[in-house]
């Protein structure tokens, strides 16, 4: 039987690009995008979906004979702090609905995105191993730790084939992140290319794990297509490619765009970033399903600049 895929949160930073990649692979009509905004043009097939609307979710899965769900709908780390209970509700109860659905409708596979935000101040900061204390301080991190444990639980208890990655901060040109702590690493490119001084909301030396979006999308698809016996971690896989600070990415951008300017005005997001770790040991993902990143800081920076220049050139 062919696959029929539902993507939730399909308008988000990862969702937009992942949906396009899945459509390349499985055919446009076999990948249904959904999100809590009205149908955007050029994104068909698209369905309006509030992830807390269980009835609607069940209808969609039945009507379209969905076989896999990529469940990306969530509120991110910085925005989560403005409304913790809403964040818990969407991030956790949304996932529970999907996992119950997977059980009842016998979905073949589910993807759940986790994050470096599951780490906290008791986690080793450098080359953070796979199995570590997870005591996050943000409600987003708390919801994602709980989500990882739920995924593992549904796998052990009901045999649900749910797979997960702890994404680093994601940098991409096709979409803009909303309400995350790592968003600066996307914004800084747009400011540089517009000739504006970038006011960075993190301090210059705040190093975080990051990844270029083509790597993140490829990792997701490779994880989901790996033979089931290779998937040995059922909470969520550490995943890494590069780590940098605002000062380091600024220096790299300046090599390509010497006019680029930055100032620093750390806000509440600085504390969130400081509670995370700075680099990740992803040897388990490499060993289990052959993960290897393609982009480092310099290759990513060059490509980002080229791609955003193209966007601005086409649109203005
Ligand atoms: N990039 C995300 C955030 O900042 C981490 O999951 O919230």
Residue 10 · residue 72 · CB < 8 Å: yes
Residue 172 · residue 243 · CB < 8 Å: no
DSSP 128: B
Average model confidence (pLDDT) for the chain?
96
Distance 15 CA to ligand 1 centre (A): 14
pLDDT tens sequence across 36-80 = 988 777 789 999 999 999 999 999 999 999 999 999 999 999 999
Kindly give the number of the ligand 1 atom that is closest to the alpha carbon of 144. 6
**Whole-prediction pTM value?**
0.97
Distance 47 CA to ligand 1 centre (A): 25
Kindly give the number of the ligand 1 atom that is closest to the alpha carbon of 181. 4
Task: Indicate if ligand 1 lies below 6 Å from the C-beta of 114.
Answer: no
pLDDT tens sequence across 255-274 = 999 999 999 999 999 999 99
How far apart, in whole angstroms, are the C-alpha atoms of residue 56 and residue 253? Answer: 45
Asked if the model's pLDDT at residue 316 lies above 80, the reply is no
Active site residues: 140
pLDDT tens sequence across 162-194 = 999 999 999 999 988 989 999 999 999 999 999
pLDDT tier for residue 115 given thresholds of 50, 70 and 90: very high
Write the DSSP assignment of 241-294 as a string of letters: SEEE-HHHHHHHHHHH-TT--EEE---THHHHHHTS-S-B--HHHHHHH-----
Asked if the model's pLDDT at residue 1 lies above 70, the reply is no
Percent of the chain with pLDDT over 70: 99
Task: Indicate if ligand 1 lies below 6 Å from the C-beta of 180.
Answer: yes
pLDDT tens sequence across 208-224 = 999 999 999 999 999 99
Asked if the model's pLDDT at residue 314 lies above 90, the reply is no
Task: Indicate if ligand 1 lies below 6 Å from the C-beta of 67.
Answer: no
Asked if the model's pLDDT at residue 315 lies above 70, the reply is no
88-103: average pLDDT: 98
Asked if the model's pLDDT at residue 296 lies above 80, the reply is yes
């Amino acid at each position: 039987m062919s696959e029929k895929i539902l993507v939730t949160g399909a308008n988000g930073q990862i969702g937009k690009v992942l949906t396009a990649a899945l459509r390349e692979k499985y055919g446009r009509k076999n990948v249904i995008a959904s999100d809590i905004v009205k149908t955007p043009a050029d994104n068909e097939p698209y369905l309006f979906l509030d992830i807390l609307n269980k009835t609607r979710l069940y209808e969609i899965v039945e009507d379209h004979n969905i076989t896999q769900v990529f469940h990306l709908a969530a509120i991110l780390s910085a925005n989560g702090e403005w409304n913790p209970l809403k964040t818990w509700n969407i991030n956790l109860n949304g996932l529970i609905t999907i996992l119950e659905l997977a059980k009842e409708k016998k979905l073949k596979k589910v993807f759940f995105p986790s994050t470096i935000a599951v780490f906290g101040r008791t986690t080793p900061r450098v080359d953070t191993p796979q199995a570590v204390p997870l005591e996050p301080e943000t409600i987003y991190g708390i919801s994602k730790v709980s989500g990882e444990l739920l995924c593992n639980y549904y796998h052990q208890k009901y045999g649900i084939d749910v797979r997960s990655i702890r994404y680093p901060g994601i940098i991409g040109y096709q979409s803009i992140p909303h309400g995350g702590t790592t968003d600066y690493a996307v914004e800084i490119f747009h400011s540089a290319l517009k000739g504006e001084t970038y006011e960075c909301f993190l301090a210059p030396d705040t190093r975080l794990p990051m990844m270029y979006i083509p790597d993140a999308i490829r990792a997701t698809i490779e994880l989901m297509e790996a033979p089931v016996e290779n998937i040995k971690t059922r909470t969520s896989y550490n995943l890494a490619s590069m780590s940098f600070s605002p000062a380091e990415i600024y220096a790299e951008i300046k090599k390509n765009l010497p006019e680029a300017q930055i100032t620093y005005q750390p806000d509440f997001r600085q504390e969130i970033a400081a509670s995370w770790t700075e680099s990740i040991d992803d040897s388990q993902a490499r060993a289990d399903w052959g993960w290897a990143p393609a982009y480092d800081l310099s290759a990513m920076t060059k490509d980002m600049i080229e791609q955003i220049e193209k966007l601005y050139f086409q649109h203005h």
